Structure 1
Amino acid sequence: MAEEMRANRDRRGFFSLRGSPLTRKIIVFNLIALIILVAGLLYLNTSRDDLVAQRASALAGEARLVANVFEAQIPTLGPVNLATGDGVDVAETLAALTLRAGIEVVVFDPAQQIVGKTLGTGAGLPIPGAATEPGRTLISDGLSTVWNAAASLFASQKAAPAPPAQDDRLVPLLASALDGGATRITALRDGANSTELVAVTPILQAGQVIGAVAVLSPAGEIDALVRGDRERVLQMFIIALLVSVGLSLVLASTIANPLADLAEAAELGRDRNARKMSPGRVRIPDLTARPDEIGRLSRALRGMVGALYHRIDGNEQFAADVAHEIKNPLASLQSAVGTLRMIKREDQRDKLLDVIEHDVRRLDRLVSDISNASRLDAELVKEEQERFDLLAMLGNLNQYLGEDARAKGIDYITDLPAEPIRIDGLEARLAQVFVNLITNAVSFCEEGDAIRVWARKRQNRVLVVVEDTGPGIPEEALSKIFKRFYSERPEEHFGNNSGLGLAISKQIVEAHGGVIWAENIRPTEADITSDPLGARFVVGLPV
């Protein structure tokens, strides 16, 4: 069996996804939680809004700085025309500006006509968050490509309208700025569908608007930064995904593989029984050292299998004892019948018939007791235990059995507490125990002897004692009287008992979580060689 289990374990491998539904479930459940977490982060991520607000504030500052540069060159008095260069040279002023790479500055006159334009190529002003540009975003770009391809399958075939020209998109902002309003900022979409921030601020001469400056952020700058943040989240997601799968496999190997070993051990035992094979006993893997539920399961299965084999061994021994016990009266019967054929004298034939009748009664009693003993295990398991008053049951037995004892000249004494003692158990089966003990005591007593039945409660147990003043129990028999088919009786009582009564009583008491033992009553416990004054049987039951 051990070789088959090793072969199955090697075939299964340390990490098994195909043969272990439990492993697959562990991985799937862990990944679902991780995917939901990352999806929530991406969906609820506020980095784009933060970036837009940050860049918009910086862009507004740049627009006001450029407007201040123009206002510083405009004379306080006199006409100024940005289109003709009167009062300020727009092209020269724009050329003198140092702007960030990608920044576009457009100057408008009051008629909303462009009078100058420049594109930044240098480092420009330090803008928070603009020091490092995002690198390549392979994961984000790949996902975007897949998403766009999937969306194109369901999108309308109509051509998307062309975006309006840049100048047209700036008209609403210019109108507000040229009317003397404050700096205006907005986000626009360029031809490549990229986000573009625009800040428009007026150019003033002595409080009069003579033009406007529009500063446009680099095309796609916001989108690139958002993709960079998203890329970092996705990279961490992939790392967490790999770690989660690895840890799930390790966790599954510590759970699924031991469970598979336990299941395979049970299945191999079942298959052997189905094929009537018995090369060895079922060996449950010993995982009892694990301080978890699998260790507990292994301990329970090993205990269950051990109890099952103990029951099988007990049944085999019981069957052997039954065969041995039945052979004795059968041999006596066979001998008596054979002799009966040859005997002619009538008195001898009557003696042989008495022997035959005695052996038949002995066989009948033996078969009846064996039948009761064989059904006892199943009945103890199937019957429901109930709470009952032990003293009330003993009182009924004492009343019935006491009359029989007194009829034989035996004193019958009882000593039971006044308060009831309630226990959980099978009342009829426990009554059978005390009937066996009391009737045994009666059978060993003679006229003038006494039997005493008393009970006492000791903490969480109750002791019920049956004492008699009979001949006592031989010392060599004290350790054997509870064995099946053992009987220690005088010759005149031979064959009248099967030797199963005390064995059955012990089985019933132990099934209730109790103990039973026998001892001799001596004048003094210090002198164990003194003749016994009688026998004592003690039954201890949990309360």
Structure 2
Amino acid sequence: MPRADDSVESEGRTPRMLRFIRSPLARKIVTFNLLALVILVAGVLYLSPARDSLVQQRARDLVAEARLAADVFEVRLPRNGPVSLAGGDGLDPAETLAALDLPPGVTARLYDPRGNLVVQRAGPARPDPVEGLSQEAPRTVLTDFLTGVWQALFRLVGATPAPDAPAGQEALSGELVQRAAQGRAVVRATEDASGRTIFAVAVPILQGDRVVGVLQLVSSGEEIDALVRAGREQVLQVFVIALLVSVGLSLVLASTIANPIADLAAAAEAGVDGSVRRRRSRKVRIPDLSGRPDEIGRLSAALRGMVTALYQRIESNEQFAADVAHEIKNPLASLRSAIGTLRVTQREDQRQRLLEVIEHDVRRLDRLVSDISNASRLDSELVKEEEEPFDLLKMLGNLTDYLGNEARTKGIEFITDMPPEPIIIHGLEARLAQVFVNLISNAISFCQEGDAIRVWARRREDRVLVVVEDTGPGIPEGALTKIFERFYSERPEGQFGNNSGLGLAISKQIVEAHGGVIWAENIRPTDADVTSEPLGARFVVGLPL
């Protein structure tokens, strides 16, 4: 995993595992993953569908066994003679019950129709061992501990017996015998005081259609409890394994998320913490995690881009401030010199000339301050203003009508060439109009009487090109890449000081804010001879549609 940059070295000195433990995000990831696993396992154990199925199956088996035993009694009953199980008339209850092969753990009780116990007999305590069948599920300290924890939780949040449930086995037996004496089989499953499952079934013994007795079988559900406990222990064992795997994977996942975000946050905080700035003079550097193919990689790349843009803006502002100071010093120096000379000059014509110089420099300073103010506000205004669709050709037509008249008054031929179809673009109409005013005004200022200016536009697939051409002196080759810099100016003689050198720089800033491009080139008689004298200058603005 990429390490943090030196700019977050104090954060990097903290052990990564300690940083991970302290991370709220990492703790949330681990907690939520474990919570989902715990809810899943608790739901499986609480619902216990396997136990319910085993209980139903055991109850059916016990009913079948009780009916078979009752059939034995019914077969031995006389067909028409009187029968009294309590007095032994017509049937020997003890002998018949002794002849039954009771399953292990089953107790048989014989009642007369009034519910009086006649005789009872218990089957063997344990089944005979059978090769190939496990008598008891293996137990371990871990499973015993987990089972104890689960039973405690189950007693804490588990369901309580219904209020009308029998309080003990005697009440249960009495209820079952009473219902069975009415001629139907009844089965119940309950728990004793120790929590073991108890099954009780009562079936009537019939002589024809008359109930002469009730046979009750009571069986312990230890086998079912053992099977359920074994299943629960297996679930808990799998839960422990899944818990360890989930924790491990959560730690890995959280570390791949929390640690990089902590590095990014520490680097970002270093840029706003005053104490860090005083302690470290180096730039704030965001860790480079852009190689990661996920959102953290995108976040790292975005933060690095933002920091780079911020430092570029700071450097640009610093350079702009230095350029402003330099540009202002020139007219101030001229003013200082003119005022000093004015104090000692006696001739009126020289004093008048010096006053003209002072007035020119004051106008130059005023123009410079105004352009600087506009340029400094341009960034924020470009962000605040809302772009709207407008017809570019209509806007150009209004500009060329006005500026074309100005050019013609100077003897300059002004030509426009626009397509017939309107061109709709999204942008700031007023700002783009400022761009084309600057370009056309520059062309007019460089042209003399007899020259020509041509403004034309063409649509090219997903963008539109607007071109301003003139037949002036052209642009010096060394200035083609400089004319868009702030305060750079290549003016004809006699126009010095009439421009701040910010017009083209502002135009470039506006065009690029719209996602477009602007460049300048010379018009030559042939492209094969780049050393030939230019026939004029060409400015091209490309804007997206």
Scaled by the length of structure 2, the TM-score of the pair is 0.84
1:527 paired to 2:529? yes
Supply the distance in 2 between the matched residues of 1:165 and 1:387 (Cα, whole angstroms): 89
Residue matched to 1:20: 23
Partner of 1:270, secondary structure, is coil
1:490 paired to 2:497? no
Farther off after superposition, 394-403 or 101-110: 101-110
Q: 1:123 aligns with which of 107, 127, 142?
A: 127
Deviation at 1:273, TM superposition (A): 8.0
**Are 2:7 and 2:285, in contact at CA under 8 Å, matched by a contact in 1?**
no
Residue matched to 1:254: 256
**Are 2:5 and 2:286, in contact at CA under 8 Å, matched by a contact in 1?**
no
Supply the distance in 1 between the matched residues of 2:444 and 2:313 (Cα, whole angstroms): 33
Q: Unaligned 5+ residue runs, structure 2?
A: none
Supply the distance in 2 between the matched residues of 1:161 and 1:467 (Cα, whole angstroms): 103
Residue matched to 1:301: 303
**1:215 partner letter:** L
Farther off after superposition, 468-477 or 333-342: 333-342
Farther off after superposition, 432-441 or 77-86: 77-86
Deviation at 1:316, TM superposition (A): 1.4
Farther off after superposition, 529-538 or 344-353: 344-353
Residue matched to 1:399: 401
Deviation at 1:508, TM superposition (A): 1.1
Deviation at 1:13, TM superposition (A): 2.9
Pair 108,347 (structure 1): closer, same or farther in 2 beyond 3 Å:
closer
Partner of 1:185, secondary structure, is strand
Deviation at 1:182, TM superposition (A): 6.0
Give a deviation string over 1:6-63, Cα, whole Å, max 9, x none: 4324436336566322223333433443344344434443333312211112223333
Supply the distance in 1 between the matched residues of 2:368 and 2:442 (Cα, whole angstroms): 17
**Are 2:107 and 2:120, in contact at CA under 8 Å, matched by a contact in 1?**
no
Q: 1:361 aligns with which of 360, 363, 367?
A: 363
Deviation at 1:410, TM superposition (A): 0.8
Q: 2:53 aligns with which of 39, 50, 53?
A: 50
Supply the distance in 2 between the matched residues of 1:315 and 1:239 (Cα, whole angstroms): 61
Farther off after superposition, 34-43 or 20-29: 34-43
Supply the distance in 1 between the matched residues of 2:111 and 2:166 (Cα, whole angstroms): 25
Residue matched to 1:379: 381
Aligned pairs for 1:209-358 (under 5 A) are 213-218=215-220, 222-272=224-274, 279-358=281-360
**Are 1:190 and 1:219, in contact at CA under 8 Å, matched by a contact in 2?**
no
Residue matched to 1:441: 443
Partner of 1:14, secondary structure, is helix
Residue matched to 2:146: 139
Count of matched residue positions in the alignment of Structure 1 and Structure 2: 533
Partner of 1:457, secondary structure, is strand
Deviation at 1:360, TM superposition (A): 2.9
Supply the distance in 2 between the matched residues of 1:337 and 1:235 (Cα, whole angstroms): 98
Deviation at 1:424, TM superposition (A): 1.4
**Are 1:515 and 1:540, in contact at CA under 8 Å, matched by a contact in 2?**
yes
Give a deviation string over 1:102-123, Cα, whole Å, max 9, x none: 2223345677443341331342
**Are 1:95 and 1:118, in contact at CA under 8 Å, matched by a contact in 2?**
no
1:170 paired to 2:173? yes
Deviation at 1:282, TM superposition (A): 0.9
Farther off after superposition, 475-484 or 428-437: 475-484
Give a deviation string over 1:261-305, Cα, whole Å, max 9, x none: 111111111114885566111101111112222111111111111
**Are 2:518 and 2:539, in contact at CA under 8 Å, matched by a contact in 1?**
yes
Give a deviation string over 1:340-369, Cα, whole Å, max 9, x none: 444444444444443333333333322222
Give a deviation string over 1:198-222, Cα, whole Å, max 9, x none: 2344567899877654322126555
Pair 479,75 (structure 1): closer, same or farther in 2 beyond 3 Å:
same
**2:533 partner letter:** D
Supply the distance in 1 between the matched residues of 2:384 and 2:179 (Cα, whole angstroms): 93
Pair 276,408 (structure 1): closer, same or farther in 2 beyond 3 Å:
farther
Give a deviation string over 1:182-236, Cα, whole Å, max 9, x none: 6543335545464311234456789987765432212655555445444444444
Partner of 1:392, secondary structure, is helix
**1:454 partner letter:** W
**Are 1:288 and 1:295, in contact at CA under 8 Å, matched by a contact in 2?**
yes
Pair 459,97 (structure 1): closer, same or farther in 2 beyond 3 Å:
same
Supply the distance in 1 between the matched residues of 2:83 and 2:134 (Cα, whole angstroms): 36
Residue matched to 1:5: 8
Scaled by the length of structure 1, the TM-score of the pair is 0.84
Give a deviation string over 1:460-511, Cα, whole Å, max 9, x none: 1111111111111122221221112222223322222222211111111111
Supply the distance in 1 between the matched residues of 2:278 and 2:193 (Cα, whole angstroms): 82
Give a deviation string over 1:422-476, Cα, whole Å, max 9, x none: 1111111111111111111111111111111111111111111111111111222
Pair 103,162 (structure 1): closer, same or farther in 2 beyond 3 Å:
closer
Q: 2:415 aligns with which of 391, 413, 416?
A: 413
Supply the distance in 2 between the matched residues of 1:503 and 1:373 (Cα, whole angstroms): 9
Deviation at 1:524, TM superposition (A): 2.1
Supply the distance in 1 between the matched residues of 2:248 and 2:103 (Cα, whole angstroms): 46
Pair 273,422 (structure 1): closer, same or farther in 2 beyond 3 Å:
farther
Supply the distance in 1 between the matched residues of 2:156 and 2:40 (Cα, whole angstroms): 25
**Are 1:100 and 1:122, in contact at CA under 8 Å, matched by a contact in 2?**
no
Deviation at 1:252, TM superposition (A): 2.2
**Are 1:48 and 1:226, in contact at CA under 8 Å, matched by a contact in 2?**
yes
**Are 1:272 and 1:278, in contact at CA under 8 Å, matched by a contact in 2?**
no
Supply the distance in 2 between the matched residues of 1:285 and 1:61 (Cα, whole angstroms): 75
Deviation at 1:254, TM superposition (A): 2.0
**Are 1:469 and 1:533, in contact at CA under 8 Å, matched by a contact in 2?**
yes
Farther off after superposition, 463-472 or 170-179: 170-179
Deviation at 1:308, TM superposition (A): 0.8
Residue matched to 1:41: 44
Give a deviation string over 1:404-432, Cα, whole Å, max 9, x none: 11111111111112222111111111111
Q: How large is the Cα RMSD of the aligned pairs?
A: 3.9
Identical aligned residues as a percent: 62
Supply the distance in 2 between the matched residues of 1:456 and 1:414 (Cα, whole angstroms): 12
Give a deviation string over 1:100-151, Cα, whole Å, max 9, x none: 442223345677443341331342699xx99655857543433444665799
Supply the distance in 2 between the matched residues of 1:4 and 1:45 (Cα, whole angstroms): 57
**Are 2:136 and 2:226, in contact at CA under 8 Å, matched by a contact in 1?**
no
Farther off after superposition, 55-64 or 12-21: 12-21
Supply the distance in 2 between the matched residues of 1:288 and 1:226 (Cα, whole angstroms): 53
